[in-house]
Amino acid sequence: MALSNEIMRSSMIEKSPLVSSSTRVLLSHSFQPKQNLLAPFENRTRVVRLRKAARFPVAAISEDLVKTSSSSSSSSSSSVPVEKPVKFKVRAVVTVRNKIKEDFKEILVKQLDAIADSVGRNVVLELVSTEIDPKTKAPKKSSEAVLKDWSKKSNTKSERVNYTAEFSVDSSFGEPGAITVTNKHQQEFFLESITIEGFASGAVHFPCNSWVQARKDHPGKRIFFTNKPYLPSDTPAGLKLLREKELRNLRGDGKGVRNLSDRIYDYDTYNDLGNPDKGIEHARPTLGGSEKYPYPRRCRTGRVPTDADKLAESRVEKPLPMYVPRDERFEESKQNTFSVKRLKGVLHLLIPSLKSSLSANNQDFNELSDVESLYSEGLLIKLGLQDDILKKVPLPKLVSKIKESSQGILKYDVPKIITKDKFAWLRDDEFARQAIAGVNPVSIERLQVFPPVSKLDPEIYGPAVSALREEHILSQLNGMTVQQAIDENKLFIVDHHDVYLPFLERINALDGRKSYATRTILFLTPLGTLKPVAIELSLPPAGPSFRSKRVVTPPVDATTNWIWQLAKAHVCSNDAGAHQLAHHWLRTHACLEPFILAAHRQLSAMHPVFKLLDPHMRYTLEINALARQSLISVDGVIESCFTPGRYAMEISSSVYKNVWRFDMDSLPADLIRRGMAVPDPTQPHGLKLVMEDYPYADDGLLMWSAIENWVRKYVNHYYPNSSVISNDKELQAWYSESVNVGHADLKDESWWPTLKTSEDLVSILTIFIWNASAQHAALNFGQYPYGGFVPNRPPLMRRLIPEESDPEYASFLADPQKYFLNALPSVLQASKYMAVVDTLSTHSPDEEYLGERQQPSIWSGDAEIIEAFYDFSAEIRRIEKVIDSRNCDRTKRNRCGAGVLPYELLAPSSEPGVTCRGVPNSVST
């Protein structure tokens, strides 16, 4: 009867117009009986997007199987005593995902596996009950079952293939809680899901989404648990040992070199950024594990040390992959997006050829049209080197694809910043607007003390007080005094002084690097827009007569106009480095990695908190590994294209040591710390912004509140009181390890939140999810739209602003535009930078956005959580409409107006590509 009810429920779901035909059977068998979960599908106009993985037909229970089960039940009830269980059969529907494109070796091994499968080297499954056998004191197990038709379906071209297997169990087996998988083939395969049909309680679903390695490589059985969440204390007796065993497997023993097929999550310092075997100039300090260079931990790979420095780990250079646990690697569509982006993924291979081919005349941008030609002609065509370079690059197939797709090698898309107004970047109001609505809206602070005061040691870095004076800005304050403007929250500052000054002497000694430590004062106009009123440019003190501080104010003639433009460019260069090293990389990439490692090591896949965090951890370890390989490492993009050069990561370490705090990565706390908001319990978010039209904060608070409310519902459901949190050994181990091991260098800081109450847990989880999703999106997906036009936001400056006594002053006067453009990155530096931020700003086709779950079956064990998630998803869609309406509101001049870009970086959804919008669930680029 129970089976008939399940089948009837399946037909009900078939009639739902909002559920695709390919997912109805899966959904119907994913829910427990008597749980009315159809309402979320019937009552909403928008269904949460389902993962492609779920878009396949799962075979319904066969008629023969129903008869077998029914006759067994009938026989059991009428003539067989209860104490003598009878055998009956249940069936598994196993979904395996194929690679879309396989190389020759993979095809050959696949065929060999098909042959081997037909002679007994199979994929073997075994069900494990939630109950203990009273006789053996071990979990009850089914008979082993072999996947059928592997050899027959080996040539199937579809992306997903369904196999079946039959188990023999007895009527006292109980409820399945786990399944083990043994792969006796030669090659790994991607196991997406397993659905068990035939139990009276209904279909049982196992969300796997994991690579299953061959037994010859990994002898142990793989363990997968059902989609039903359990706190550690609630774990059924039959699953307790398996739960602990699986976590031990994921932790490993902390020894040896990790193989690419491993699933081991462990910690290490950043001791692989340099390559001392290539020479002392390629050595870099280890970040993490020292008082001088503290840093979060990264995923351990266990590679052998370098010959020159036994404490430094040897490097793996492209195209060889760096180790991350196997399931953390990019899926195929994501990998394709990264690797075939119009040659940009292999740009570094072209650089040596380009350098040897360049003449002195085309190394720099000499006119604005030189920059614009990168969008109309492409780099190689512009330089007249296309045919010559293509002959030198051993990538004929890739180059062919690039030529077909882009009609020119390295032809860049026009960045959004110049699509609405070609000269917007020159305007002061746009320069100021980007401090609150650009790619780095988190450095601006309310000015509370004037002149600003440095926190650096004055005996080393000179006077703490700024060179800024009231006379510099008074004429720009609409008749107000400086103190009046401060009291009325009209003055703001973007202060990069203390971050840069300790490194300036070494930076400016580098070839082709010239930088100041900048402070920019901004005034809030009656229209609600900002205007820059002064820029302070500081250099290290070098003797009593050396002029180390210079103040530049808005121009009054042609000469001061170009000096002002150069000063703004230096501010943008400072800001680009601070954005990348302090906010984007450090806060949303590096500082989250320890929490992800600890989650896999300490939280079972059955743990409710792991299920909550799982989509927000996707791809982060892989993208961070790629960053260590080619972005933040020696001669990587950051060193090559940003002003700090080889000292970039030391600056990041300094910010981690002196500025970063986990508790301040809460959006409300960060806004209050920067003086951009004040606590106000009468307001919807518990605070009031001091600048009414602050697009990042306006939209961010909507997103923060939605995340926080969703997390609070989730936490309160599983943790009805604080004692449950205190007694959750996995949860406490996760947080403790995240802090004490993952952030070991700062573990003794007093500001770490405690984990004792449900509100503590809500806060910690909300901070993590906010930074992995919305915060990262706000800091990442505008990089090419704003930085792709290098004069708008140069990542590097090569010239200081000339004084009248400088030899360069005459050439500056003779051709100020050329001087300005020559101070920016070279053609190659700009092209390399543009290529990378273009890739980082791109959404892949398999992106999962906030409010979506690509694996809906993972939630189907709990009806209340499904309903709460639908509420969260609906709230995210509502927020998107609010953001769209704000961008059409002409009174909001920081996001609407002639030539003004709308602020969409926190708009939740996006199409694939560079869109300057979209909030993915995780840090995936």
Give the helix/strand (H/E) hosting 524.
strand 517-524
- Please name which of 625, 836, 645, 610 lies closest in space to residue 731, comparing C-alpha atoms: 610
Residue 7 structure tokens: 């089948």
Cα–Cα distance for residue pair 925/338, rounded to 1 Å: 9
Q: Which residue's entry shows tokens 């009315």? A: 36
Task: Work out the angle at residue 774's Cα, subtended by the Cα atoms of residues 782 and 707, and round it to the nearest 5 degrees.
Answer: 165
Give the E-state strand segments of 390-504 in sequence order.
444-446, 491-495
Q: Cα-Cα-Cα-Cα dihedral of 433, 592, 573, 293, to 10°?
A: 140
526 preceded by cis ω (within 30°)?
no
Cα–Cα distance for residue pair 826/812, rounded to 1 Å: 18
pLDDT mean for each 10 residues of the chain (925 residues)? 38 35 36 35 38 34 38 42 76 92 77 81 95 93 93 85 94 95 94 94 92 94 95 97 97 94 98 97 97 98 96 92 95 74 47 52 82 78 52 46 48 91 96 98 98 95 93 97 98 98 96 96 98 97 70 97 98 98 98 98 97 95 96 94 97 98 98 97 92 98 98 97 96 98 98 98 98 98 97 97 93 97 92 89 93 71 88 97 98 97 98 96 95
* One-character DSSP codes across 871-901: HHHHHHHHHHHHHHHHTT-TT-TTTSSTTPP
* One-character DSSP codes across 1-69: -HHHHHHHHHHHHHT-TTS-TTTHHHHHTTSPTT---SHHHHS-SSPPPPPGGG-SPPPPPPHHHHHHH
Cα–Cα distance for residue pair 603/607, rounded to 1 Å: 6
Look at the chain and count its residues.
925
- In terms of phi and psi (left: phi > 0; alpha: psi -120 to 50; beta: otherwise), the region of 49 is beta
List the alpha helices (DSSP H) in 659-738: 667-673, 695-718, 722-726, 729-737
Cα–Cα distance for residue pair 522/432, rounded to 1 Å: 7
Residue 607 structure tokens: 């743990």
Rg over alpha carbons for the chain, rounded to the nearest Å, is 30
pLDDT for the residue 86: 87
Cα–Cα distance for residue pair 58/25, rounded to 1 Å: 6
Cα–Cα distance for residue pair 852/868, rounded to 1 Å: 13
- What is the identity of the amino acid at 128? V
Please state the separation of Cα 251 from the chain's center in Å: 23
Beta-bridge partners for 494: 444, 520
Task: Work out the angle at residue 19's Cα, subtended by the Cα atoms of residues 14 and 21, and round it to the nearest 5 degrees.
Answer: 55
Q: Which residue's entry shows tokens 């607007």? A: 433
Give the SS3 label for residue 384: coil
Cβ–Cβ under 8 Å, residues 16 and 38:
yes
Cβ–Cβ under 8 Å, residues 620 and 589:
yes
Residue 221 structure tokens: 């059985």
Give the E-state strand segments of 546-620 in sequence order.
549-552
Asked whether the CA dihedral 799, 800, 804, 805 is positive or negative, the reply is: negative
Q: List C-alpha distances in Å: 458 to 405, 498, 502, 651, 721.
A: 56, 11, 11, 19, 51
- What is the identity of the amino acid at 650? E
- Please name which of 550, 547, 515, 552 lies closest in space to residue 535, comparing C-alpha atoms: 552
Give the helix/strand (H/E) hosting 192.
strand 189-197
3-state helix, strand, coil in the chain (%, to 5): 45, 15, 45
Cα–Cα distance for residue pair 289/785, rounded to 1 Å: 37
Residue 541 structure tokens: 């003190």
What are the phi and psi torsion angles at 257 (to 5°)?
Answer: -85, 135
- In terms of phi and psi (left: phi > 0; alpha: psi -120 to 50; beta: otherwise), the region of 149 is left
Q: Cα-Cα-Cα-Cα dihedral of 341, 343, 347, 350, to 10°?
A: 180
- Please name which of 715, 601, 746, 701 lies closest in space to residue 253, comparing C-alpha atoms: 601
Cα–Cα distance for residue pair 197/207, rounded to 1 Å: 15
Residue 730 structure tokens: 């996995």
Cα–Cα distance for residue pair 482/486, rounded to 1 Å: 6
Residue 76 structure tokens: 């059991």
Q: List C-alpha distances in Å: 919 to 81, 618, 779, 780.
A: 59, 14, 11, 10
Cβ–Cβ under 8 Å, residues 96 and 53:
no
Cα–Cα distance for residue pair 450/776, rounded to 1 Å: 32
Please state the separation of Cα 291 from the chain's center in Å: 28
- What is the identity of the amino acid at 478? N
